[in-house]
Structure 1
Amino acid sequence: MSIKLDHATRTLAEQGQLRDKLCAIDLALSNLYQQAGQYREALDHLKWHLQLNGELFSAAFDQRIQSLKVQFELKQVESERQAAQRLNAELSELNARLEETNRDLRAAQAQTAELMARREQHANEDALTGLPNRRAFDAALADLLPDQQISLMVCDIDHFKSVNDRFSHLVGDQVLRQVGALLKSQLRRGDLLARYGGEEFVLLLTEVSQTDTLKVCEHLRRTIQNHDSSTVRPELSLTVSLGAAVAQLEPTTLAMQDVMRAADAAKHAGRNRVEVQLATPLG
C-alpha cells in the first residue's frame, strides 16, 4: 500500500483553509498504514496529525480567547455606557432637586425680607394713623446734622379727652386718623410728621426761619379748624393748638430735649392758637 501527499500538496493545504481536512486525512492515513503493517508511515502521519491538531487547537484557542476578550470589552463598554447613563440621570435629578431647593430658598429669602420689611415698618409706624411713630421720629432726630437749623412743632387736638368721653373711643380714633391725614396733606417734600403719642403729633422742618415756621403752623391750625368734621360726627368740631421751637443744633450747648421742651411750652400758651419761639439751652 502506498498513499502519499507530496510536499507541494501539503504546503497548499496548510496555507489554505484546509488544515482541518488535512489533519483528518493524516489521521485516516495513519490508521490505514497501521492496518497495512506500514508502521513507519503510520507514525509519520500520526505525528503530522497531532501537529496539525495542536496547531488547530492553538488557533481555535487563540480565536476563542480573542472572541472572549472582544465580548468582555464590548460588555465593559456597555456597562460603562449604562453606568454613565445612570450617573447622568442621577445628576439630572440632583440638578432638578438643587434648582427646586434654590427656588425654595429664594422664595424663603424673599418672604423673610418681606417679613423683615413689614416688621421694620410696624416697628416704625403708628398702627392707627399709618404715620411714623415716636420711635421713627426719634431716630430721624438722631440723624440730623450737628449744625442744622430745625423747626420742631408739637400739635395737640384741643379737648380730645372730652371727645372720647362724649362720643366714645371709636370716634376718638376716627378723629386721630382724620387730623393725621389733614396734617399729612399739607406737608412739603422732606417734612416729617409723626404721631408722638395720644393726641399729640410732631412735625419736623429743616432750614425754615421762625417767620416761616409761624406761617406753617397757622396754615395747619386753619386747615384743621376749617375742615368739616361732621363727617365723623354731626355735632363734632375740631381745633388744634401748636407750639413750635426754632433752633440751630449745637450738640455741645443745645440738646434735642431742649427743643422739645420749648415747643411744648409754646403749645401750652392757649387753645386753638400757635406759639413759636427760639429754643435755648437750659441753665
Structure 2
Amino acid sequence: MSAIQKILEQDIKLPSPPAIAVHILDAVRREDSSFRELGRIIASDPALSAKILRVANSSFYSLKYPVDTIEKAIAVLGVDQLKNIALSFVIAQGMRGNAEEGFDFDYFWRRAITAAVGADLVAQRMGCKTGDTFVSALLMDLGVMVMYFWSPARYVQALDSKRASRESLCSVEQRLFGFDHAEMGAEVLKAWGLPENIWMAVGRHHTGGEGRGADQPTQDVLCLADALSSIYHGSHSSQRIAYVKKRLGQYGIEGEQVDGLIDAVAEKTLEVLSSFDLAPGALRPFSQILQEANEELGKLNLSYEQLVVELKQAKEKAERLAHDLSEANEKLRELAFRDGLTGLYNHRYFQDLLDKEMGRAVRYGRPLGLVLFDIDHFKAINDNCGHPVGDQVLRALAGQFAALTRRTDVVARYGGEEFVIILPETDSKGIMVLSQRLRRGIEQMEISTEAGPLSITVSVGATSYEEGMGPRTKAELIDAADGALYAAKRGGRNQVRFRKLTESA
C-alpha cells in the first residue's frame, strides 16, 4: 500500500462523490446502458439539467441550434461530453465550502474552471480534443484540496514555502510530504471510479515537456491550461504569457492566434462560471492583463536600468572607499613605522629594512653602508635647558637630514639621541664622504629653542659590507658601526670613525 493510499484509507475523511455522480459513472461504464438512461439520470436533478443545458447553449460550444432537452444535448454533444459536463458540476458543487484560513474554495474552483476552459480551447486548436479534456483540466489540481483536508496546517506551510521561494509547488510537496498533489489527485479520482484516461492525465499533468510519448499532447494541453489559468488568477502574468506563446509556437500556433485564444479563455470562462454559480472574482479581459503585463515589464526594465545605475554608483563608492581605506592603511603603516617625536623612521622599521638590505647585499655581492651617530653632550642640554628644549633639538636635527643625505639613504631614530642611516649601494669611500658632510652640516647649524640659539656636534661611526666579504649578518654590521661610534667618542667627539667588518673593537 502506497503512502497516498494509506492516507486516503486511514488518515482522511474525504467527501464521497455525490450519488448522482456515481449513477452517471455506472451508466457510462455499463455496456448495456444507453444515452437515454444517462439522460434520465441527469434529468432526475432539475438544477443539474438546467445548468447543463445552459452550458450546452452557451458560446463555449457555439451550437448551430439551441437544445432544450438533455436527450438532444446528448445527441449533439455526445455521451462523453455530457457525462463530463455533469461530473464537473456535481463534483465542484459537492466539494465547495466556506473560505477557511489558508484555503479559498471559490478561488480554487474559479481557477480550475478557467483551466478547464483553456484546456478545451487549446486542445481544439492543437487537434487533440477529447470528451475528457474539460473534466481532466477541471480536476487536475484536486489533490491540492485533498492535501489541505488531510493536513491544513502543514499544507498552509507548504503554500507559504512555495510563495517565499522559487520552488514549484510539486517540489515543495515532494520535499515536505514525499508526494505531490498531482499524485494525490490521481489516486482520489481512481478511487472514485473515474475513467483511467482522466486520472492518468491528472497524475501526469505537471510533466508536460518531459519526453515525447504518445500522450505528450494531452500533457502539454494540461500544462498550458495551468499556465492560462495563472495568467488570469496568478502573478507574473508576463512570464506566463511568454511561456504559453513559446509552447503553442511548438504546435504552429503563433501571433494573433495566441492572443485570440488567451482572450477567448476569459470570455468563455465568464459564461461557464455563472453556470457553476461562481462570481468572476478578479477575472478580467486579456487586453487588461496584457496592459498590466506590459506595465509590469516596463517597471522591470525601469528597475533594471535603475539597478544598473545604482550598481554603478555602488561600485564607484566602493572604489572610493577602497582607495580611502588604502590611503588610511598606508598612513597607519607609516605611523606604525614612524618615530612620534621626530617623524623619522623608528627602530623597528630600521631593523626590518636592514634585514632586507643585508640579505640583498650578501646575495648579489653589492656594497651596503651603515652610519651610527649621536649628539655630543646631549644629557647636558636636557639637564641645563630642560627636556622640552632637548626635544626641540632632536626635531631640528631630524629636519636637516633631507638636505644632508641622498634620496636613496634611509634615516631612522635608533633611540634617545642616537640616529642611524642605511646607505644602499655605497662603499667605504662614499660612506666617509657622506659622514663628513653630515658631521660638518650639523656643526654649522644654529638651532632656535626656548632657551635661545644652540649649536651641537655629533660623533659618527661608520662601516660597510663590501663585495667579496661573503656571508655576513645584520648584527655584525651594527656591531661594527657601534664600535666605530664608540671610538669617535673616545677620540674626543665631533669626528667620524670607520671600522671594517673584520676589525675587532
| TM-score (normalizing by structure 2) | 0.40
The 1:101–1:255 alpha-carbon spacing in structure 2 relative to 1, beyond 3 Å, is same
Q: For CA contacts below 8 A with separation 6 or more, give which structure has more relative contact order.
A: 1
Task: Verify: 1:119 aligned to 2:332, yes or no.
Answer: yes
The 1:91–1:208 alpha-carbon spacing in structure 2 relative to 1, beyond 3 Å, is closer
Aligned to 1:185: 403
Q: Quick one: which of 328, 337, 341 aligns to 1:128?
A: 341
Q: Quick one: which of 373, 392, 396 aligns to 1:174?
A: 392
Report SS of the residue matched to 2:499. Answer: strand
Task: Verify: 1:102 aligned to 2:320, yes or no.
Answer: no
Q: Quick one: which of 389, 394, 419 aligns to 1:201?
A: 419
| Equivalent residue letter for 1:136 | Y
- The structure whose Rg is larger is 1
Residue 74 of structure 1: CA displacement? 1.7
Matches within 5 A, 1:62-73: 68=267, 72-73=285-286
- Could you tell which deviates more after superposition, 206-215 or 170-179? 206-215
Report SS of the residue matched to 1:152. Answer: strand
The 1:135–1:107 alpha-carbon spacing in structure 2 relative to 1, beyond 3 Å, is same
Matches within 5 A, 1:134-173: 134-144=347-357, 145=360, 146=362, 147-173=365-391
Report SS of the residue matched to 2:455. Answer: coil
Report SS of the residue matched to 1:156. Answer: strand
Q: Aligned partners of 1:275 and 1:67: how far apart in 2?
A: 105
Post-superposition CA distance 1:219-249 (Å, at most 9, x none) = 1111111111245642522111101112227
Post-superposition CA distance 1:203-223 (Å, at most 9, x none) = 122333323322221211111
Residue 281 of structure 1: CA displacement? 7.8
Q: Aligned partners of 2:352 and 2:397: how far apart in 1?
A: 23
- Could you tell which deviates more after superposition, 175-184 or 230-239? 230-239
Report SS of the residue matched to 2:408. Answer: coil
Q: Aligned partners of 2:429 and 2:367: how far apart in 1?
A: 14
Q: Quick one: which of 76, 84, 88 aligns to 2:289?
A: 76
Residue 127 of structure 1: CA displacement? 2.3
- Could you tell which deviates more after superposition, 244-253 or 76-85? 244-253
Where do 5+ consecutive residues of structure 2 fail to align? 1-62, 67-263, 269-283
CA contact (8 A) 1:175 1:232 kept: no
Residue 282 of structure 1: CA displacement? 7.2
Report SS of the residue matched to 1:229. Answer: coil
Report SS of the residue matched to 1:143. Answer: helix
Aligned to 1:254: 472
Post-superposition CA distance 1:138-158 (Å, at most 9, x none) = 222222221221221001011
Q: Aligned partners of 1:106 and 1:193: how far apart in 2?
A: 34
Task: Verify: 1:224 aligned to 2:442, yes or no.
Answer: yes
The 1:80–1:142 alpha-carbon spacing in structure 2 relative to 1, beyond 3 Å, is same
- Could you tell which deviates more after superposition, 138-147 or 251-260? 251-260
Task: Verify: 1:274 aligned to 2:492, yes or no.
Answer: no
| Equivalent residue letter for 2:421 | L
Aligned to 2:57: none
CA contact (8 A) 1:244 1:276 kept: yes
RMSD (CA atoms) = 3.1
Where do 5+ consecutive residues of structure 1 fail to align? 1-53, 58-64
Q: Aligned partners of 1:164 and 1:231: how far apart in 2?
A: 12
Q: Aligned partners of 2:450 and 2:396: how far apart in 1?
A: 9
CA contact (8 A) 1:156 1:242 kept: yes
Aligned to 2:104: none
- Could you tell which deviates more after superposition, 225-234 or 124-133? 225-234
The 1:122–1:233 alpha-carbon spacing in structure 2 relative to 1, beyond 3 Å, is same
CA contact (8 A) 1:151 1:246 kept: yes
Residue 168 of structure 1: CA displacement? 2.0
Report SS of the residue matched to 1:188. Answer: coil
> Percent of counterpart pairs with the same letter?
31
Q: Aligned partners of 2:65 and 2:503: how far apart in 1?
A: 121
Q: Which has the higher strand share?
A: 1
Q: Aligned partners of 2:469 and 2:303: how far apart in 1?
A: 67
CA contact (8 A) 1:254 1:280 kept: no
Q: Aligned partners of 1:93 and 1:141: how far apart in 2?
A: 54
Report SS of the residue matched to 2:395. Answer: helix
- Could you tell which deviates more after superposition, 123-132 or 113-122? 123-132
Post-superposition CA distance 1:130-179 (Å, at most 9, x none) = 22222222222222221221221001011112222222222111111111
The 1:97–1:66 alpha-carbon spacing in structure 2 relative to 1, beyond 3 Å, is closer
Instruction: Count the aligned residue pairs.
Output: 224
Aligned to 1:28: none
Report SS of the residue matched to 2:340. Answer: coil
| TM-score (normalizing by structure 1) | 0.68
| Equivalent residue letter for 1:275 | R
Q: Aligned partners of 2:394 and 2:410: how far apart in 1?
A: 17
Report SS of the residue matched to 1:278. Answer: coil
Residue 90 of structure 1: CA displacement? 3.2
